[in-house]
Amino acid sequence: MNISSPPPERLVHVPLGERAYDILIGPGLIGRAGGEITARLKGRRAAIVTDAHVAPIYLEALMDSLQTDGIEAVSLTLPAGEKTKSLEHLATVTDMVLSARIERNDAVIALGGGVIGDLAGFAAGIVRRGVRFVQIPTSLLAQVDSSVGGKTGINTRHGKNLLGVFHQPDLVLADTSALDTLSEREFRAGYAEVAKYGLIDKPDFFSWLEKNWREVFAGGAARAEAIAVSCQAKSDVVVEDERETGRRALLNLGHTFGHALEAATEYDSRRLVHGEGVAIGMVLAHQFSARLNLASPDEAQRVEAHLKTVGLPTSMNEIPGALPPTEKLLEAIAQDKKVKSGKLTFILTHGIGQAFVADDVPSSEVLGFLEEKRPK
Amino acid sequence: MNISSPPPERLVHVPLGERAYDILIGPGLIGRAGGEITARLKGRRAAIVTDAHVAPIYLEALMDSLQTDGIEAVSLTLPAGEKTKSLEHLATVTDMVLSARIERNDAVIALGGGVIGDLAGFAAGIVRRGVRFVQIPTSLLAQVDSSVGGKTGINTRHGKNLLGVFHQPDLVLADTSALDTLSEREFRAGYAEVAKYGLIDKPDFFSWLEKNWREVFAGGAARAEAIAVSCQAKSDVVVEDERETGRRALLNLGHTFGHALEAATEYDSRRLVHGEGVAIGMVLAHQFSARLNLASPDEAQRVEAHLKTVGLPTSMNEIPGALPPTEKLLEAIAQDKKVKSGKLTFILTHGIGQAFVADDVPSSEVLGFLEEKRPK
């Protein structure tokens, strides 16, 4: 028994029956991934999928750890960025996984951010109709969002995440030390999703963030705490509604507007990254709710103030470059997959921590609101 | 209420909880598909996937029926044949489904044999992480095999069905009149799977087939009966083991050898079609079981005799053209996805109706057996 390795700081168990799994949250997890994996998975082969940003920093440590624990691993390093979530790269990944003779009890390991997790998870979900999947998210966004819930996917010319499967991971290793190498901008973008959990149904957590956000950014116990609360919050929703037929839609708070803005900026990360789109989207969702007399304008202002304080964009005016006409923005919203029989579905709110699903929002209201809020 | 349409001759309900669905078996179902679909699905859009053999015969009738019942449908006709189960065609299908703005409650409809069902089902399983799926199998093989169980998939250069998902249909319409346009050879190939259900665990059904096979081939009540018993048999196994972790492997009786022979003949349907591979494979499985002293050689002879009587091939000698070296056949077996940690898994038998999963078969035994049975 190896008594020298410290216990992980936090563990969130996602109780999905036979698809239940653990999320370990703490520093140094990449360096002991092998032991954590062999303790839980039967197979002794692994195919690692990573990207050109992450590989130089963490791939060697991960492969060393796997080798030490007797796991035979191969790796594939893909270009970093949203464009990698394509059918072409999915074909490359599945071919590599099959070449490595990964069987059902072996694992595909995603080492990277959300793009790598979504792509590798999709591959793990379809090779042999499902092999084991281990997530090692290296961005804050991936640790608090895509590491829980089993959504995988790629983009198509029709939109984002339009092809994918639900495939739960068997283990998530959220190495908090990996976040030290993120840029400020990346960390902030992930923080938008952390704040989202407070805005959905945890007003006390949002208040805590208002007071403690500096410590979360600095690292240490507050960071691990914020990640654990976020994973637990997402887990609670996912367990209740694994296939997104109801309550899980709440997790899309800020995302309907956000996805439309990402599409409008052609997924150009120089202009807007996902978390920034979500930040603007959450402010818009609160403002739109106020406009519809569902919530007080004060709540929208409080959300805007906090996100602005941490350095996130909070309005469309802050997006560099021109946006397409308002009708085009509405079209992007309508093509978003949260559409039912042509009606627009939005996550709206009665105030901080009181989000709800509204599935019959008139598009004329949306159009008028966007017209008012967009850069003139 | 439309009282003029006759009730379906048979209904098999597959009780998979929230994924439960009905299989209707009877003549003329394609012509009233619209009514059956609107009675069960909420969406009013459909994307039909079919092939160049089936489209000229049934597509118009299907589209008319959908239109009559208010379903807006588009169709995509692909080349017929196993080669269509490719990643390239999957891309074409998903693009067409997304262009048609199929949402989660709308349907992808597979009109065709197993190839179309597997491909369209895979697309239905991954577009928006799963949209509704209706199967209209037009071959006997598809009606008794792929219409039950939710397996979908495509082939890769590494082998058959190596990419796919489990995605249950929401409705299966097994139109028995569609089988009248099958060639004798195609019908026989499907019959191999019908016989398989007897061989797995229904010795009485196998005896019934020995007596009544001519009526099954002729059509009418015996045919519907054989299809219904087959669908019920497969449903019983699938319900017990939806994700193929145990008992469901029994359905692979004859398939490990069969798949290897299909690979060895490069999926060239002029040399061997799937059902013929399964027929030879089932005979081999019984002979191999006898060789391992697990079953009496008389049982193997009885299986061989019946399959020969209906006109199916029962030995490797009947496959036109040269087969690769025995080592290559073994390799094809080892790459088959029913491999666990490098050991060979076979479905063997103690006799007719007494199949079981053997997951530790020494490859040397297989090699010796194949060497003996292969054409000299």
The class that CATH gives domain B185-373 is mainly alpha
Of B98, B104, B166, which has the smallest distance from its Cβ to A129's Cβ? B166
Q: Give the pLDDT confidence of B216-272 residue by residue, as tens digits.
A: 999 888 999 999 999 999 999 888 877 766 788 899 999 999 989 998 998 888 999
Active site residue B104: no
- Cα–Cα distance between A258 and A116 in angstroms, integer? 20
How much is the mean pLDDT over chain B?
Answer: 92
The pLDDT value recorded for residue A336 is 52
DSSP string of B30-52, one letter each residue: GGGHHHHHHTT-S--EEEEEEET
A339 touches chain B (CB under 8 A): yes
Q: A10-181 is classed in which CATH architecture?
A: 3-Layer(aba) Sandwich (3.40)
Give the CA angle between residues B193, B198, B201 to the nearest 5°: 120
Q: What is the nearest CA distance from A5 to chain B, expressed in angstroms?
A: 29
Class of residue B210 by CB neighbours under 10 A (exposed 0-12, middle 13-18, buried 19+): middle
Q: How big is the CA angle at B85 (ends B82 and B87), to the nearest 5 degrees?
A: 145
Q: CATH number of the domain at A184-373, out of 1.10.4160.10, 3.40.630.30, 3.30.420.240, 1.20.1090.10?
A: 1.20.1090.10
A chain contacts of residue B104, beta-carbon cutoff 8 Å: 337, 340
- Using a CB-CB cut-off of 8 Å, the residues of chain B touching A94 are 156, 163
Instruction: Note the pLDDT of residue A307.
Output: 98
Q: Is B373 a catalytic residue?
A: no
Say if the Cβ atoms of A129 and B339 lie within 8 Å: no
Whether A162 sits inside 8 A of B125 (CB atoms) is no
Specify whether A13 is catalytic. Answer: no
Sign of the alpha-carbon dihedral angle for B367, B369, B372, B375:
negative
A158:B95 CB<8 A: yes
Amino acid letter, A239: V
| Closest B-chain CA to A163 | B127
Distance CA B253, CA B274 (A): 13
**Which residues are bridge partners to A171 per DSSP?**
A22, A134
Burial label, B81 (beta-carbon count in 10 A; 0-12, 13-18, 19+): middle
Residues 230-289 of B with CB under 8 A from A: 243-244
The strands making up A132-137's β-sheet, listed across from edge to edge, are A10-14, A21-26, A171-175, A132-137, A107-112, A45-51, A72-78
A341 touches chain B (CB under 8 A): yes
* Alpha-carbon distance B151 to nearest alpha carbon in chain A (angstroms): 8
Q: Flag whether A138 is marked binding.
A: yes
Chain A, nearest residue to B165 by Cα: A129
Q: Which pLDDT band, with edges at 50, 70 and 90, does B335 fall under? A: low
Name residues whose C-beta falls within 8 Å of residue B192's C-beta, 6 or more positions apart in sequence: B254, B275, B276, B278, B279, B282, B307, B312
CA angle A237, A238, A242 (to 5 degrees): 135
In chain B, residues with a C-beta closer than 8 Å to the C-beta of A153 are 129
pLDDT at B362 over 80: yes
What pLDDT is recorded for position A342? 54
Q: Is A88 labeled as catalytic in the residue annotation?
A: no
- A208 to chain B, any CB pair closer than 8 A? The answer is no
B72-78 and A132-137 as β-strands: parallel, antiparallel, unpaired?
Answer: unpaired
CA distance B220 to B226: 10
Which residues fall within 8 angstroms of residue B132, CB to CB, at 6 or more apart?
Answer: B41, B43, B104, B105, B106, B107, B108, B124, B170
Under a CB-based contact definition with an 8 Å cutoff, are residues B135 and B168 in contact? Answer: no
From the list B326, B334, B361, B360, the residue with the least C-alpha distance to B256 is B334
pLDDT at B306 over 50: yes
Say which DSSP state A323 is in: P
Which residues 6+ apart lie within 8 Å of A288 measured at CB?
Answer: A346, A348, A366, A369
Q: Cα separation of B195 and B213, whole Å?
A: 10
Please give the Cα distance from B366 to B344 (Å, whole number): 9
Using one digit for the tens of pLDDT, what is the confidence trace for B186-206? 999 999 999 999 999 999 999
ipTM metric: 0.86
How far B126 CA lies from chain A's nearest CA (Å)? 5
Q: Is B154 helix (H, G, I), strand (E, B) or coil?
A: strand
Question: In chain A, which among 100-139 make CB contacts under 8 A with chain B?
Answer: 101, 103-105, 125-130
- Say if residue B360's pLDDT is above 60: yes
Given 3-state DSSP classes, what are the helix, strand and coil percentages for chain B, each rounded to the nearest 5?
A: 50, 20, 30
The yes-or-no answer on residue B82 being catalytic is no
- In this complex, the residue of A103, A163, A340 whose CB is nearest that of residue B103 is A340
List, by residue range, all CATH 3.40.50.1970 domains of chain B. Answer: 10-181
B158 contact residues in A (CB cutoff 8 A): 95, 98-99
Nearest to A217 by CA among A192, A235, A200, A197: A192
Strands A343-349 and A339-340: antiparallel
Q: Is A280 annotated as a binding residue?
A: no
Grade residue B342 by pLDDT with cuts at 50, 70 and 90: low
CA A63 → CA A57, A173, A234, B355, distances in Å?
A: 12, 15, 30, 43
Compute the distance between CA of residue A142 and CA of residue A54 in angstroms, rounded to an integer: 13
Which is nearest to A41 in space by CA: A121, A136, A108?
A108
d(CA A55, CA A138): 11
| DSSP-derived secondary structure letter, B146 | I
Distance separating alpha carbons of residues A29 and A33, to the nearest angstrom: 6
Per-residue confidence band for B336, with pLDDT thresholds at 50, 70 and 90: low
Record: contact A127-B340, CB cut-off 8 A: no
Strand partners, B22: B13, B171
Partner-chain contact B341 A164, CB within 8 Å: no
As annotated, the residues of chain B forming the CATH 1.20.1090.10 domain(s) are: 185-373
> Which of A88, A93, A129, A155 to probe the B interface (max B CBs under 10 A)?
A129
Q: What is the DSSP pairing of strand A159-163 with strand A154-156?
A: antiparallel
Print pLDDT tens along chain A (376 aa): 444 444 447 999 999 888 999 999 999 999 999 999 999 999 999 999 999 999 999 999 999 999 999 999 999 999 998 899 999 999 999 999 999 999 999 999 999 999 999 999 999 999 999 999 999 999 999 999 988 889 999 999 998 899 999 999 999 999 999 999 999 999 999 999 999 999 999 999 999 999 999 999 998 889 999 999 999 999 998 888 777 667 888 999 999 999 899 989 988 889 999 999 999 999 999 999 999 999 999 999 999 999 999 999 999 999 999 999 998 998 888 765 444 445 688 999 999 999 999 988 988 899 999 999 998 7
Q: Closest Cα to residue B262, out of B120, B85, B143?
A: B85
Tokens of residue B287, six digits: 């002979």
Q: How many CB atoms lie within 10 A of CB B67?
A: 12
- Is A129 designated active site? yes
Name the residue among A43, A94, A151 with its Cβ closest to that of B129. Answer: A151
For residue A340, the chain B residue with the least C-alpha distance is B103
| Sequence-ordered list of residues with C-beta below 8 angstroms from that of A251, at least 6 positions apart, any chain | A149, A196, A200, A234, A237
Q: How far is CA A265 from CA A82, A268, A301, A363, in A?
A: 13, 6, 25, 21
Going by the DSSP 8-state scheme, the letter that residue A315 receives in this structure is S
The bridge status of strand A171-175 relative to strand A132-137 is parallel
Report the candidate in A157, A74, A86 with the shortest Cα–Cα distance to residue B87.
A86
Is B340 in the active site?
no
pLDDT band per the 50, 70, 90 thresholds, residue B364: confident
d(CA B311, CA B188) in angstroms, rounded, equals: 7
pLDDT tens-place string over residues A43-61: 999 999 999 999 999 999 9
Domain ranges in chain A with CATH number 1.20.1090.10 = 184-373
Q: Which of A42, A130, A163 sits opposite B94 (nearest CB)?
A: A163
Closest Cα of chain A to B173: distance in Å?
25
Contacts of B315 (CB under 8 A, 6+ apart): B280, B283, B304, B373
The tens digit of pLDDT for each residue in B2-54 reads 444 444 479 999 998 889 999 999 999 999 999 999 999 999 999 999 999 99
